[in-house]
Amino acid sequence: MAIVALVDEAEALLRRLVGVSDAAFREGQWEAVRDLVERRGRVLVVQRTGWGKSAVYFVATGLLRARGRGPTVIVSPLLALMRDQIAAGERAGLRAVTMNSANPDDWVDVATALADDAVDVLLVSPERLNNPRFREEQLPGLSERAGLLVVDEAHCISDWGHDFRPDYRRIHDLLTRLPEGTPVLATTATANARVVADVAEQLGAGGADVSTVRGSLARRSLRLGVLTLPRAADRLGWLAAHLGDLPGSGIVYTLTVAAAEDLAAVLRDAGHDVRAYTGSTDPADRIDAEQALRDNSVKALVATSALGMGFDKPDLGFVVHLGAPASPVAYYQQVGRAGRATERADVLLLPGVEDADIWHYFATVSMPRQEQARDVIAVLETRGRPTSTAALEAEVDVRRARLELLLKVLDVDGAVRRVRGGWEATGEPWNYDAERYSRVASARAAEADSMRAYLRGERCRMAFLQEALDDPSAVDCGICDVCSGPWYPLDVPASARAEAAGRLRRAGVPIEPRVQWPSGMARRGVQVSGRIPPDERTEAGRVVARLTDLGWGQRLRWTLDASAPDAAADGALLAACVDVLRGWGWDRRPEVIVSVPSRSRSALVGSLAAHLARVGKLPDLGPLGLRNGGPAGEPGGNSAFRLADVWDAWTVPPEMTAALRASPVVLLVDDLVDSRRTLTVAGRTLRRAGAAAVLPFALARVG
């Protein structure tokens, strides 16, 4: 009797939630709900997007709350997703709230509501679990009282997963702290057998039984295909010519920010209504762009993976990739956003030769380096008080983005701790887990091989992706380009290719001048701080391209690679440099050329300075002089270190000083710009020697 009543009650909740009066549970949904509510069990649900995973936890929450249990805590990775979740919960009559970095002012109200038991669902990001205030004030009470813990996108727990996030390792602590009999639900749409086993093991912490509900991951609405075109101009030309043929509105993914911006410009020039969406887009513009796509008021967003898990548009008509993601699992997750509520959605991949380089780059930046980790711990131990990330940056030679990642990893490993005012060492010994990192590195290599196999197309594309996720139900889809031949146009109209090629050849990216010295320079023995005085700054500069650009980026990556021989620049590159100078639009035309002395590429930089001098009819004053042998360290490193390295590295030879007096506007030529410290300090040296303006020019910039 009791069972029947529970089913009926659950079904009524489901119908309210989905807004369909005769809705019935889908296969597996009821089993999961029952396991959570009756057995108070731990359940792992691996089901495709759109199957109804959130329905499971909202229905379970309704039932548990009706039985007097505490609120459900949902750990979910993205704010955008949270907005949708709160709205969905409210449809089911559940009061849902969130505590995240965007609403600290509401925390007190939320905490009061929690204490009054007036909240049914609390959504938090994994980062929140490690916020000192949240950890101290909320977490202990919450884990004590939670009626249900939900871990969304649970593959992020596993370092076998394609999207492992250090913050998710906190969930393990939370699991061990839950009182016995607190049900736990973990959900994911993208986990292969190894990730499932790993997540199940972590869910079972403390000896709990874990039941797994796993369904077919096949997405029948998706028509998959791969179109290999030899050159970037062909791929861009294809998109410019055929984007309009794709159904509805959709997403064009690129691997880098530069590629997204370039491609958006090409598509706009071709008359398409598209917007770029990347990690460098302002948050407000991002929300606006998401809304425009939801409303079908743009044809496409040209996006990096920053348009991520949280984005939900059931009628998304297509997903195209310009450049392949690093693993079939990551690819499945991105294309899974299309066609959730449509009969058919088109999914096309246009791979590029440079994709593997980009995978390699992202794989290496995310791994902690042993010496750097030891330095960070040593500095925190010596200082013995909370230290901010900016202050740490002045003491250890690790760049900001990598430093932040490293601190997270060390935190999760227990060696450092985030406290108010920064970070401190815990005194716990830290061991470099070489075995784990090499394991992760070989998993990445295997994923890359698998992605290459996907591109070759020896098997039905959908079945291939399902098998990559160890889904045993894989059968041929019948509609992909392997099953039934190309469904997309194969031609690239000559005019579209020519347009794209012209755009790719177009050169020139600005570099903003530095206006601020990094903090903590005094600790590095350099007595500067605060703003750089206006009469010591450079003007805005130019480079031909970013190393990640679709056009010149590829060429310049080869030219500037550490293993490339030093040689004079070729005619095409020199012509591109002249184009950039022509299009500059400077306030004051340069009167002389000075170069930054280069150890490894003096022929390249020398040829550049000489050519620009000839074309612009400007005297080439040659390179700056070196003091004490020039810069000490290698390029790279973080800003405080790099600045200390180059501080006082250059001198202005007497004959150059004399020439500057007569012609004080300088074009300062270098090969590669990274932190901009070289240009900042060399520019300052010239300004102090009498230059009225310094215009930096280089071949490329990193990122």
308 contacts ligand ADP (rule: CB under 6 A): no
Q: How far is the CB of 326 from ligand ADP (least distance, A)?
A: 23
- The nearer residue to ligand ADP, 77 or 518, going by C-beta atoms, is 77
Nearest distance, CB of residue 30 and ligand ADP, angstroms: 9
Nearest residue to the partner ligand ADP, using Cβ: 52
- The one segment of 52-60, 448-456, 550-558, 615-623 that binds ligand ADP by CB under 6 A: 52-60
DSSP state of 69: -
Upper half-sphere CA count for residue 302 (Cβ side, 13 Å) = 25
- Taking the mean position of all CA atoms in its chain, how far away is CA 622? 41
The DSSP annotation for 578-637 comes to HHHHHT---SS---EEEE---SS-HHHHHHHHHHHHHHHT--EEEEPEESTTS--S-S-S
Q: How many CB atoms lie within 10 A of CB 373?
A: 22
Displacement of CA 470 from its chain's centroid (Å):
26
User: What mask of x and - would describe binding to ligand ADP in positions 114 to 143, judged by CB under 6 A?
Assistant: ------------------------------
CB of 56 to ligand ADP, least distance (A): 7
* Binding flag, residue 52, ligand ADP (CB under 6 A): yes
Binding mask 169-188 for ligand ADP (x = CB under 6 A): --------------------
Among 36, 51, 463, 542, binds ligand ADP (CB under 6 A): 51
- Least separation in angstroms between residue 35's CB and ligand ADP is 16
Cβ proximity of 138 and 172 under 8 Å: no
The three-class DSSP label of residue 185 is strand
Binding pattern to ligand ADP, positions 11-50, x when CB under 6 A?
Answer: ---x---x-x--x-xx--x-----------------x-xx
Burial category of 168 from C-beta neighbours within 10 Å (exposed 0-12, middle 13-18, buried 19 and up): buried
Among 13, 35, 54, 580, binds ligand ADP (CB under 6 A): 54
Q: For ligand ADP, give the closer residue by CB, 215 or 619.
A: 215
For the chain, what's the residue count? 703
Q: Which is nearer to Zn ion, 131 or 466 (CB)?
A: 466
Shortest Cβ distance from residue 60 to ligand ADP (Å)?
12
Q: What is the DSSP string of 450-481?
A: HHHHHHHT-S-HHHHHHHHTT-TT----SSSH
Q: What string of H, E and C letters represents the secondary structure of 84-104?
A: HHHHHHHHCCCCEEEECCCCH
Q: Which does residue 308 bind out of ligand ADP, Zn ion, none, counting CB within 5 to 8 angstroms by kind? A: none
Q: What does 50 interact with, of Zn ion, ligand ADP, none (CB < 5 to 8 A by kind)? A: ligand ADP
From the CB of 26, what's the least distance to Zn ion, in Å?
Answer: 24
Q: How many CB atoms lie within 10 A of CB 1?
A: 5
When CB distances are held under 5 to 8 angstroms depending on the partner's kind, the choice from Zn ion, ligand ADP, none that residue 166 binds is: none
Near ligand ADP by CB under 6 A, which window of 51-59, 133-141, 366-374, 467-475?
A: 51-59
Which residues are CB-neighbours of 189 under 8 A, at least 6 positions away? 46, 47, 48, 49, 51, 53, 217, 333, 336
Alpha-carbon gap, residue 146 to 178, rounded angstroms: 8
Q: Angle 257-269/494-505 helices, nearest 10 degrees?
A: 130
For residues 573 and 601, is the Cβ–Cβ distance under 8 A? no
Q: Name the binder of 85 from Zn ion, ligand ADP, none, CB < 5-8 A by kind.
A: none
To the nearest whole angstrom, how small is the minimum distance from the Cβ of residue 347 to Zn ion?
11
Taking the C-alpha atoms of residue 287 and residue 450, their distance in angstroms, rounded to an integer, is 34
Give the shortest CB-281-to-ligand ADP separation in angstroms.
25
Number of residues that bind ligand ADP (CB under 6 A): 15
Q: How far is the CB of 461 from ligand ADP (least distance, A)?
A: 21
- Kindly state the smallest distance separating residue 478's Cβ from Zn ion, in Å: 6
* Site for Zn ion, rule CB under 5 A: 460, 477, 480, 483
User: Which residues in the 365-404 window bind ligand ADP by CB under 6 A?
Assistant: none
β-bridge mates for residue 150, sequence order: 74, 185
Residue linked to tokens 């405080």:
640
Rounded Cα distance between 374 and 378, Å, is 6
DSSP 280-326: TS-HHHHHHHHHHHHTT-SSEEEE-TTS-TT---TT--EEEEES--S
* Binding flag, residue 53, ligand ADP (CB under 6 A): yes
Annotate each residue in 280-299 with x if it binds ligand ADP (CB under 6 A) or - if it does not, as one string: --------------------
User: Which among Zn ion, ligand ADP, none contacts residue 23 (Cβ within 5 to 8 A by kind)?
Assistant: ligand ADP
Closest to ligand ADP by CB, 313 vs 461, is 313
Q: Does 694 bind ligand ADP (CB under 6 A)?
A: no
Identity of the residue, 88 or 681, whose beta carbon is nearer to ligand ADP in the bound complex: 88
By beta-carbon proximity to Zn ion, the closer residue of 477 and 608 is 477
Choose from Zn ion, ligand ADP, none: what does 483 bind? Cβ within 5-8 Å by kind: Zn ion
List, in order, residues 6 or more apart from 478 with CB less than 8 Å away. 460, 484
Which chain residues interact with ligand ADP by CB under 6 A?
14, 18, 20, 23, 25-26, 29, 47, 49-55
